[in-house]
Amino acid sequence: MGPQTYNSFFTVHGIIMIFVIVIPGLPAVFGNFFLPIMIGARDVIFPKLNLLSWYLYVLGILTVLTSLFTFGGAPDTGWTFYAPYSFKTTTNMFPAVLGAFILGFSSILTGLNFITTIHRMRAPGMKFSNMPLFVWSIYGTGWIQLFATPIVGITLMMVIAERFLHIGFFDPALGGDPVLYQHLFWIYSHPAVYIMILPAMGVISEIIPTFARKGIFGYNAIVASTMAIAVVGYFVWAHHMFTSGMSTTAQFTFSLLTFLVAIPSAIKVFNWVATLYKGSIRIEVPLIWALGFMFLFMIGGFTGLFLGSVATDVHVHNTSFVVAHFHYIIFGGMGSAFMAAAHYWLPKMYGRMYNKFWATVGWATFFIGFNVLYFPMFILGYQGMPRRYYDYLGQFHNLNVVSTIGSWILATGLIITIVNLIRGARNGPKAGMNPWEGRTLEWTVPSPPPPENFDVIPDLTSTSTAH
């Protein structure tokens, strides 16, 4: 594979994974399905707007994919579309940037719909103080989608204007500033990490108490930490830019804020562990995926502190260390939580159960493969291997081979897991209304739920909690 092909591969991989899979994954799939049920509503408040967001999502995907097959060749800038290369490259950037812009609109409409649904459609007795934690996580995510996504949309339009109209936003030859692009891009893209991970945390906050057979420890602390992540996450973007020439004061400030945003995440982990402590733990596949999430997410979180520290960041910036950290957070975090949610809620969505043995084999294979694939990248990055290089020196060869073998193991685990879920959804044994003995409202309706969820809207005024 030559350098141009490699650059195109990782660019399209990044665009599809970030904008098409990871950001909309949990909110669009499980948020749309379970948010209304969990608050006692028949549907989201704006069903037609919801449908429009789906059409925009599909249109965005198709637009991105056209960049692969039309004149000029696939884009080669990386998913960040860094200026000035994004408007100087001769590859087919326009469909890719426009597709990301359209996907952003889909994300904004979804966030708006969820926020309004939570405010206006809660069942009687369902207060903010007793909402399920997954709903809280979708609520925090919705606000990030609403406030942060327009910034990247405007920025992408500026890139298109720069490319075709030569206005001079980011082009130094026209008086523009490439670093301005970095600021605008990361003002969205770091909060986007929390769009990816907050719903994952919400899923884990539902699964842990269900299988510990006890209420969540520190409900109010988890809610506060969710909203703290959503708020503080807006103010840490420039830790991606420590090597861009910022002042010492700015470096100190953004480093401190990066360390502070780790505290709410740590609160959640402590509360999950405390919930398991002395619980009547029932070992089931969703709990195994949730525990795998905690392990992988903590590795990603701790290594994020390395990148938040200016001194170490200068050493490992733009190396494989960053690739490993990012994938432990996003793939190990959001990916594991997505699979945990799929195994937790599939019996409710389809009324059928998957094969638990093969589900466990799939998780174990995935977990081993994931760590064999990504952990060597920490070492490679520390040793100085840059990211986004199509080739590398011989001293990095052995660990890259190990990573490649890990990718095969991981892919095998994913195939086992996905095939098992599909077979379970189609032909698995009947699951019943509440196979996990869960205590939130989705477990009070038939499996699968009827078209409008409830024949009669539940009244929770006589019960103490819904979570």
pLDDT band of residue 464 (cuts 50, 70, 90) is: very low
Place of tokens 């945390």: 201
Q: Is 109 within 8 Å of 56 (Cβ atoms)? A: yes
pLDDT band of residue 462 (cuts 50, 70, 90) is: low
Residues of the chain with CATH 1.20.210.10: 1-206
Instruction: Classify domain 1-206 at the CATH topology level.
Output: Cytochrome C Oxidase; Chain A (1.20.210)
In this prediction, residues 295-314 reach a mean pLDDT of 94
Q: Is 159 within 8 Å of 83 (Cβ atoms)? A: yes
Torsional sign, CA 277, 279, 280, 286:
negative
Q: Which residues contact 414 (CB under 8 A, 6 or more apart)?
A: 362, 366
As given in the structure block, the two tokens for residue 373 are 């694939």
What distance separates the 2 farthest-apart alpha carbons in the chain? 69
* pLDDT confidence of residue 460: 84
Is omega for the bond preceding 84 within 30 degrees of 0, making it cis? yes
Distance CA 168, CA 162 (A): 6
* pLDDT confidence of residue 463: 53
Residue-wise pLDDT tens digits, 263-276: 999 999 999 999 99
Query: Which has the minimum average pLDDT: 154-158, 415-419, 453-457, 461-465?
Result: 461-465
Return the percentage of the chain with pLDDT > 70, whole number. Answer: 99
Distance CA 432, CA 436 (A): 10
Q: Is 44 within 8 Å of 117 (Cβ atoms)? A: yes
Task: Tell me how long the chain is.
Answer: 467
Residue-wise pLDDT tens digits, 228-285: 999 988 899 999 999 998 899 999 999 999 999 999 999 999 999 999 999 999 999 9
Distance CA 132, CA 130 (A): 6
Return the percentage of the chain with pLDDT > 90, whole number. Answer: 76
Residue-wise pLDDT tens digits, 105-153: 999 999 999 999 999 999 999 999 999 999 999 999 999 999 999 999 9
Distance CA 199, CA 333 (A): 10
Q: Is the pLDDT of residue 353 over 70?
A: yes
Q: Is 416 within 8 Å of 358 (Cβ atoms)? A: yes
Q: Which residues contact 153 (CB under 8 A, 6 or more apart)?
A: 101, 104, 105, 108
Residue-wise pLDDT tens digits, 377-409: 999 999 999 998 989 888 999 999 999 999 999
Distance CA 128, CA 45 (A): 17
* pLDDT confidence of residue 32: 93
Residue-wise pLDDT tens digits, 170-227: 999 999 999 999 999 999 998 888 888 999 999 999 999 999 999 999 999 999 999 9
Q: Is the pLDDT of residue 78 over 90?
A: no
Beta partners for 352? 430
Distance CA 223, CA 138 (A): 11
